[in-house]
Amino acid sequence: MKTKALAAVIVLSAALAVRVHAFGLGAQFNLYGGRTFAPGAALLISPSDRTHMAFNWFIDPDGSENTLGLALDVCPLTLPIAGFGAGTFNFTLGIGLFTNTVFTNNSNDVNMGLRVPIGLNLMLGQRTFEIFFHAAPSFGLDLRPSLGLSDPFVPMALGARFWIRGAGNVGRYALPLASPI
């Protein structure tokens, strides 16, 4: 229960603290990339067209592990690959920061570092629905249980999000990229 309350406080605090361009809410299935991350939900807040903050909560199916993650990405490169009707298929590339806290029955692990999110997304319905795949090569520091360099890992995710855009942003070209991890 403490984890749920903490997640709610973080999300609400961030939502009130930034000028919001758009909110994205969805679910994703995480693929093994050097560390294990379970399926989970993500809230994405975009204060601009190219900057995204992702709050992620992953719950291991057997209930033995919960992960809270925060990522801040800047996505300077978005290349439309194909357009059709009201949809676009895009390639995205960015750079960002991450922190993860993993809660298990035995301990809490904390790490933080740099990441390079690389992704493909399909935006549909005037950019209100997104299907995505992304990988984010990551490296950094383990802060807990002991201080040291973390092994590089490449978290990958496949998922979908609904987007709620701020007033005046519906007609603007804005593509989300967030990583969960």
What's 95's domain CATH number? 2.40.160
* The pLDDT value given to residue 174: 41
| 12 pLDDT more than 60 | no
Phi-psi region of 65 (alpha: psi -120 to 50; beta: other; left: phi over 0): beta
Residue 134 lies in a domain: yes
Q: How far apart (Å, rounded) are the C-alpha atoms in residues 140 and 116?
A: 12
- DSSP H helix total and E strand total for the chain: 1, 11
Is residue 174 domain-resident?
Answer: no
Residue 8 lies in a domain: yes
Residue 101 is assigned to a structural domain of this protein: yes
Give the torsion sign (CA, 130, 134, 138, 143): positive
Name every residue whose Cβ is closer than 8 Å to that of residue 36 and which is 6 or more positions away in sequence. Answer: 60, 65
Average pLDDT of every residue of the chain? 75
**How many domains is the chain partitioned into structurally?**
1
Would 181 be classed as within a structural domain?
no
Q: Is 120 a domain residue?
A: yes
Residue 81 sits in which domain range? 2-165
What pTM value is reported for the model?
0.72
pLDDT tens-place string over residues 20-45:
667 777 777 777 665 556 666 777 77
For residue 179, tell me if it sits in a domain.
Answer: no
pLDDT, position 97: 92
Cα–Cα dist 32/2, whole Å: 27
Task: Give the Å distances, CA to CA, from 58 to 99, 146, 170.
Answer: 14, 23, 30
Residue 78 lies in a domain: yes
Q: Between 85 and 5, name the one with better pLDDT.
A: 85
